[in-house]
Amino acid sequence: MEERRWYKGDFHLHTVNSDGRKTPEELYEELYKKGLDFAFITDHNFNTVGEKAADYKGVGLYPGIEVSGNQGHVNVFGENMGLKSIESPRSPEAYNAVIDPLREKGAFVSVNHPFDRGLPWRMGFEDFRADSVEVWNAPMHTDDVKCMNWWREKLLDGVYIPAIGGSDFHRDFFVTRLVASPTTYVYAASKSMKDVLAAVKAGHVFVTNSPKAARLFLTCGQALPGDKVPFTEGATVNVSCDFLRRGQVLRVYHNGDEVFTCRAKRHKNGLSFDIPVTAPGFVRAEVRYQLGKVACALYRKGAAHFGRCDENEDVPEFIYSFTNPIFFE
């Protein structure tokens, strides 16, 4: 019997049914080898999994479609959507004509890589209702940092959209294994698609670098990321992680203020900290790292090849893991 716990998965994957290089069967085997609990297959304008969720060696395979056109990319997840493929929408009205009927059928809508310099989200969020936003797309790059900074500013403005990650996997390069990079964890009653999406909508989510990367937990008693708890004098949160690598920095934020920092001068295992919450607002945690000079030069060269960095662009601190916030009212 399944139980309420943290389940790990990937929300953004492609096959040969759009512009990926792996067949569905090859991708499913890779998901199994990665040890994932669930995955949403999101080919461009094509529903690979079909009308119902499936299973491959214990990995939940869930229906999705990445609605892709000139206004940006948005994932739609759900069973019984009643479509196999769609034409690429070319206007905001065409996007809404596709997505609104799916919402009425209970579909979950997640905007992808909204600040990608090549494929940004052009419809905005004021008049477009998103159930979540993919702030970490593919292996960490500078556009992801821009998206994280935007998400932080929205939180400070009082706007909360649950944040997830997705590998946006299309292919591997030589020795890479990019499926589930990053990996999104959800605290759910089970790994069923219904329970996973309910957990995301509730914000019970953290994202980390890969299935084997350190997990980052944020709690306040029984409260998890996404939860709202009454603020009381003497309130604390607990932040814990499996390990920090040398040079990584764990930071905890209360609203816009950095209230706790742990910089690892060497590899550290099993860290746990209780941190006071001194006023209403929200608390979140993240782990970041800075590439060295040689790694920065290699990153610029590689990312520039894919249009994701200018060769002279400053490389910011990259994100290794982050939590959604706990709110104190």
- Cα separation, 141 vs 87, in Å, equals 30
Greatest CA separation found in the chain? 55
Pair of tokens at residue 326: 């706990």
The correct answer on CATH 3.20.20.140 for the domain covering 5-212 is: yes
Peptide linkage before 182 cis (omega within 30 of 0): yes
Instruction: Count CB atoms within 10 A of the CB of residue 311.
Output: 10
Specify the domain boundaries for CATH 2.60.40 within the chain: 219-328
- Residue for token digits 């004098």? 233
Q: What is the pLDDT of residues 130-162, one digit of tens each?
A: 999 999 999 999 999 999 999 999 999 999 999
Instruction: Count CB atoms within 10 A of the CB of residue 32.
Output: 14
Instruction: Count CB atoms within 10 A of the CB of residue 259.
Output: 15
Contacts of 199 by beta carbon, 8 Å cutoff, 6+ apart: 186, 187, 188, 189, 205
Q: Report the pLDDT value the prediction gives residue 305, as an integer from 0 to 100.
A: 81
Q: Report the pLDDT value the prediction gives residue 239, as an integer from 0 to 100.
A: 98
Specify the domain boundaries for CATH 3.20.20.140 within the chain: 5-212
Return the closest-CA partner of residue 213 out of 137, 133, 321. Answer: 321
From the first residue on, what is the mean pLDDT of each consecutive set of 10 residues in the chain (329 residues)? 90 98 98 98 98 98 98 98 96 97 97 96 96 97 97 98 98 94 98 98 98 98 98 97 98 98 96 98 98 93 84 92 98
Q: Report the pLDDT value the prediction gives residue 1, as an integer from 0 to 100.
A: 57
- Cα separation, 272 vs 296, in Å, equals 31
For residue 128, the SS3 value is coil
Return the closest-CA partner of residue 119 out of 200, 181, 44, 55. Answer: 44
- Cα separation, 33 vs 201, in Å, equals 28
The overall pTM is greater than 0.85: yes
CATH code linked to domain 219-328: 2.60.40
Q: Report the pLDDT value the prediction gives residue 302, as an integer from 0 to 100.
A: 86
- Cα separation, 262 vs 58, in Å, equals 37
Are 210 and 182 in contact by the 8 Å Cβ rule? The answer is yes
Q: What is the pLDDT of residues 275-290, one digit of tens each?
A: 999 999 999 999 999 9
Tell me the DSSP string of 251-296: EEEETTEEEEEEE-SS-EEEEEEEEE--SSEEEEEEEEE---HHHH
Write down the H helix ranges in the chain: 24-34, 92-104, 142-156, 193-202, 293-305
